[in-house]
Structure 1
Amino acid sequence: MNKFVLASIVTAAFAMPAAAADYKIMAPASPGGGWDQTARAMQTSMQDEKIAGNVQVVNVPGAGGTIGLAQFVNQAKGDPTQLIVGGYVMVGAILTNKSPVTLDQVTPIARLTGEYEALVVPAKSDIKDMAGLVEKLKADPGSVSWGGGSAGGTDHITAGLIAKAVGVDPTKVNYIAFSGGGEALAAILGGQVTAGISGYGEFESQIKAGELRLIGISSDEKIDGIDAPTFKEAGVDVSIQNWRMIAAAPGLSDEQKAAVTADIEKMATSAAWTKILADKGWANTFLAGDAFTAQLKKDTEATSAILKDIGLVK
């Protein structure tokens, strides 16, 4: 081979774009819930925008994400192609489950979204509004069952904060935890619980179909397009936002972390991701780098204080 042909081959090789990475994203919950929806939204966005080659989603449910987290920490070490979805719920579950594995053992990449909590009852319920629910709760706290996600998660914390705000002992809240959004939704629709709490997006289609009655939303101010009062407007001084994050495997080099972060930043500013946020009613709360690591530490400390306050952690 002459030197001109060799030079041409070398030049062409350097001119070729690097192949997009493949990723495996763990949703540490059953299909249908917020983490699963987040992972699949990432899958769609990263593939549609050619940010990644093949993106696979795996579900590992149980214990507020701590079973999946333990598996991820033990099996993904040093692998930059593996990611895990987490968030506020996982922070609480780590504390309430006394998990031996914590978020200190993964590589935080970015906070992605925020979503307010929706409080619903079945359409056939005799509870018409927040005042009706509060009346029942004050009369007999145990008679009001709340269906939502994992123990110690955002849904559970919200129920406890509502009870505390109206003068009911939050430790008497009759909370029934489900491992996935699909299971919780079935129980709420079937009238197996008095009320349901989750992100608005998980109830939206059933609310619009008239199968569920939305009696409150946990935002500070009324949200355009959502026909319900805030908890505060309904006389319950509580506001809370669930946030979701993406983390990478433990033991990554600075270069590997930077490459993963760059891909996630591309996704978070892409047209596909922006459309999904709008369609699902998720707020864009993107925060990456050292700022996110610092915020995660603050959120963990604040969640610990809330869980102690409502009797879920001693």
Structure 2
Amino acid sequence: MRRDTFLKSLAALAAAGALPLSAHAASAVKMMLPANPGGGWDSTGRALGKALLESGAASSVTYDNKGGAAGAIGLAQFVNSSKGDPNALMVMGAVMLGGIITGKPPVNLSQATPIARLTSEYNVFVLPANSPYKSMAEVIAQLKKDPGSVKWGGGSRGSTEHIAAAMIAREVGVDPAKINYVAFRGGGEAIAAILGGNVTIGGGGYSEMAEYIATKKMTPIAVTSGQRLKNSTVPTLKEQGINVEIGNWRGVYAAPGITAEQRKALTEMVAKAVKSKSWAESLEKNDWTPAWMAGEQFANFVDSEFASLRATMVKAGMV
């Protein structure tokens, strides 16, 4: 067989999803990051891309940042432009579920294909370095006195830090509907607002804030975990008498309309990447907890999380 004929045949087989994993391993992956640069989804997607390359699971990875509406804008683009593409992946997570519940966008996660949950992380609440407040207790005292005067900054409406803020208000006897929450399109924008002192208190993934906490540009006052994080002295909300615990997980979805074989190949490709040294280094660097879950188990988990998150948000007065 002539070489050009062979290559055309190979391309046709790949498009049909008929090639074995070894052939798919050389895929040129297109990664949708439904947030602006600098946040958790951005860093997760780029860390996964690096692991895909270094493990040999992909030949190249390109990234497309499309922030806004808790990931719904990126999700809409992904669903509408990637149909049947066996090399397309999108980073998503708990924040996207919250955004769908509050924003009710015309697209839904059910239109894309679940691949795997990757990590879990807790949020940290921080104060700008020049804040007049020194602790969560002082912020709560002001919140009780004048809810609107406390400006909470974080990710999109429905993000885990938004939900946590509403839960905190409810727990301390303040109407969650009265909290003054400023939503940003991505972690980078939220961090800039905190550093600039444009919000009273900011929330986000611990990995996003770690650099600024270490250099004392932000003062950490609480984490949303049940116990203190490893190698951290930051107290939990529960330690401070506020019965709130909420985690933030992240995962990846594939395009709508791919075949079962293509889904299996993508899942195996991501599984290979998360076993790499590169991924282990990213987990350590960002203080992410590995939380691998794939296939129908992951799809069922997302459905369960959606129902649970909706119930929490209704209870917190957000829906």
Structure 2 counterpart SS, 1:133: helix
Shift of 1:19: 5.2
Query: Which deviates further from its counterpart, 77-86 or 125-134?
Result: 125-134
TM-score, normalised to structure 2's length? 0.91
Deviations 1:214-251 (A, max 9, x none): 00111101112112101101111111100111000011
Distance in 2, matches of 1:192 and 1:223, equals 27
Distance in 2, matches of 1:99 and 1:79, equals 23
Aligned to 1:139: 145
Distance in 2, matches of 1:18 and 1:54, equals 12
Distance in 2, matches of 1:25 and 1:19, equals 15
Query: Which deviates further from its counterpart, 225-234 or 251-260?
Result: 225-234
Which structure 2 residues correspond to residues 11-22 of structure 1 after superposition, within 5 A?
20-22=26-28
Which structure 2 residues correspond to residues 86-105 of structure 1 after superposition, within 5 A?
86-105=92-111
- Structure 2 counterpart of 1:77, from 77, 83, 86: 83
Aligned to 1:67: 73
Alignment CA distance shift 1:63-1:289 (3 Å): same
- Structure 2 counterpart of 1:293, from 293, 299, 307: 299
Deviations 1:245-304 (A, max 9, x none): 100001111100000000011112222101100110011111111111111100000111
Deviations 1:39-77 (A, max 9, x none): 110111111111110011110111111011011111101
Structure 2 counterpart SS, 1:119: strand
Distance in 2, matches of 1:17 and 1:304, equals 41
- Structure 2 counterpart of 1:269, from 272, 275, 278: 275
Which structure 2 residues correspond to residues 92-171 of structure 1 after superposition, within 5 A?
92-171=98-177
Distance in 2, matches of 1:96 and 1:79, equals 29
- Structure 1 counterpart of 2:56, from 50, 68, 74: 50
- Structure 2 counterpart of 1:256, from 253, 262, 279: 262
Shift of 1:184: 0.6
List runs of 5+ in structure 2 lacking aligned partners.
1-19
- Structure 2 counterpart of 1:282, from 285, 288, 292: 288
Percent of aligned positions that are identical: 47
CA contact (8 A) 2:176 2:318 kept: no
> Which AA in structure 2 matches 1:230?
T
Deviations 1:115-146 (A, max 9, x none): 10100001221211111111111111111000
Alignment CA distance shift 1:169-1:40 (3 Å): same
Alignment CA distance shift 1:165-1:249 (3 Å): same
Distance in 2, matches of 1:70 and 1:211, equals 36
Structure 2 counterpart SS, 1:251: coil
> Which AA in structure 2 matches 1:85?
V
> Which AA in structure 1 matches 2:313?
L
Alignment CA distance shift 1:18-1:124 (3 Å): closer
CA contact (8 A) 2:25 2:269 kept: no
> Which AA in structure 2 matches 1:65?
G
> Which AA in structure 2 matches 1:59?
N
Shift of 1:87: 0.6
Q: How many residues align structurally?
A: 299
Distance in 1, matches of 2:25 and 2:280, equals 24
CA contact (8 A) 2:166 2:318 kept: no
Alignment CA distance shift 1:17-1:157 (3 Å): closer
Shift of 1:170: 0.7
CA RMSD of aligned residues (A): 1.3
Distance in 2, matches of 1:110 and 1:88, equals 13
Deviations 1:62-106 (A, max 9, x none): 111101101111110110111100111100111111111111110
Q: List 4+ stretches of structure 1 deviating above 6 A.
A: none
Alignment CA distance shift 1:111-1:139 (3 Å): same
CA contact (8 A) 2:153 2:193 kept: yes
